[in-house]
Structure 1
């Protein structure tokens, strides 16, 4: 069995449901020995076998080493390790991909414990100078023991009233500092510009100059009025990141005011808080990934997006950020593409639990061709801040330029050629530069 893979179901040879995790490790020891240590540490073992760790208990509860693929060694250790330094242990620093499986019965429908099992003390093991959780696969039936998205892809489209085409969104700019009334005035302008979706920035949640108690009613008054005039409901993701009870209160305020979406900073709110939020509101949850780079950027440490989004999707979020192609952040384009495909993959045979991938960071009309080429689908949220708000002819022209760029892809025409009859797209190309390939 491969130690890497997508969100397909898998099982052990005995037929018992098992969770499969794939790791990249670095160690001065035999990777097979280290893999067995990892399996024991994350199930029923410790550094020495204890009295009650019987053969029967081990057969029932111990994690299993499923695969080992040794790679080229490294000349230097990736991470410092005082345990090895105290013992004078040096290289070579052997690297390997290791596949482990864990009995579902060890964990149950307990998301924090699932995370602690596949991504817990492993990172601190003295035998390792590098460890990265690369993949996580769950049995289909096990996934169904957790929360599903309330809206997902189809429900988000239905709420907005956009059954086809890319969903075009934007972000409140400046990130923070506007009053509630100033925010509402900007939202009014953006609604009239033709966006499908608007979100708060992750650093603007409940500031003193624009508390949610004032901002939500002011903004929703504008959105309701726009819906009455146009028949289209713009989805606004209010950032309600907070402690759990406060988030539930904020979500209820959004619901009472006729809103359809709330946003939360996943990494900082935590699994249990987002699970409670999902169970306490029918609104779409826009899952923001800020801080994910701390878990992912080092190639020999942390967690891949595939594994990260697998855990977070069990909370029942509806949208997940993947960053953007040719964007302003550090991720390679292929990582963004893989992340979007992970979000669009079902984790269960029993339900459509796909989440809407949200592209953002430096996105504008010129990054549409690369997005279309890589994804081949318009079931995504294409969010542009500066590409809309900084368009030389105003936000409406910014939105039009993005929609024109998507239409050009449908027709198989280059942006340069298509822009000859589209002044909004032409102005965007002149203002922001060369289109992404």
Structure 2
């Protein structure tokens, strides 16, 4: 599985997944008001906003990200988004585009479940009125659950026999069987701990209920999910949102209007408004003289959007959903530097805080060196934190040690090769 964070947009057909991708990224995913508009998965790049170290170390004026951007101490880190084919009930048994959906899902780290809270599409994504979206949440989780459970249960006899023959711990065996889902060992360990199981664990004593319990726990760790309650500008949405919040109080959920965000971005691009993603307001020619004057039709649509979405919910919710997804998965921004005093990526200076990578919880210091460059891990000597203190190679990277300088046995040659690559 790739080290780069991937956010998966999931949900039933026509819930607004492709519109959300277009709103959150510069992608032009195909949008349609009919099931299975998305056949092949669509990708796009969005940005996770977080406080940049340049603010803490008074280097805002010289901060120079290679990718993304930094605006007055707020770092916008690129994140890949994936919009997969819509899911329908029975997907785990191959109905609809179920098999493709579930295969596409393997590359995602965290899910944004886009739910049409307007009640204008049924469970198959067909146009309707008065549909109750509250059940969409559970059946999507149930379909993913059954997909994983079925794959384990049909091999369960072999799994038990292998543990008996090899005396291997349960977490190692389960990790191997779940590796196809991009799973690391600590994910399996955490899933077992959440259901109060500690080694030694005998899988021979598990029945189907125990396995279902484990799969539920595994899903919570492997695929944490944010509910994106989309189409909040429709008349029936408020009532549906209230009932969903009451039914699922433990879920992270964000009210959104993907189409509103798309429209605001379009109007900004055409010079009619001044708008920043995530804001709860925008400006027109009434207050900014350099903007184009809106005609009555456009002005009416903007006023309606402002009343039904921005004022009511404090924004379109798109940027907040991205931020919530990254933080729910507990990915950490890491800044590799070559000079701890200047925070530059060159020993001689320049390119302050140029590079940043989001890494998953549990990533170790030496492991991260290999993510940056194979030679950094191969010739690894030691790593230092921001105050020059040595970091243990098996130390987990956290917010308090996420600015790292590496020293290797071939530092000079690796540095020269890297500089040459950067100059190309």
TM-score normalized by the length of structure 1: 0.26
Instruction: Give the TM-score, by structure 2 length.
Output: 0.27
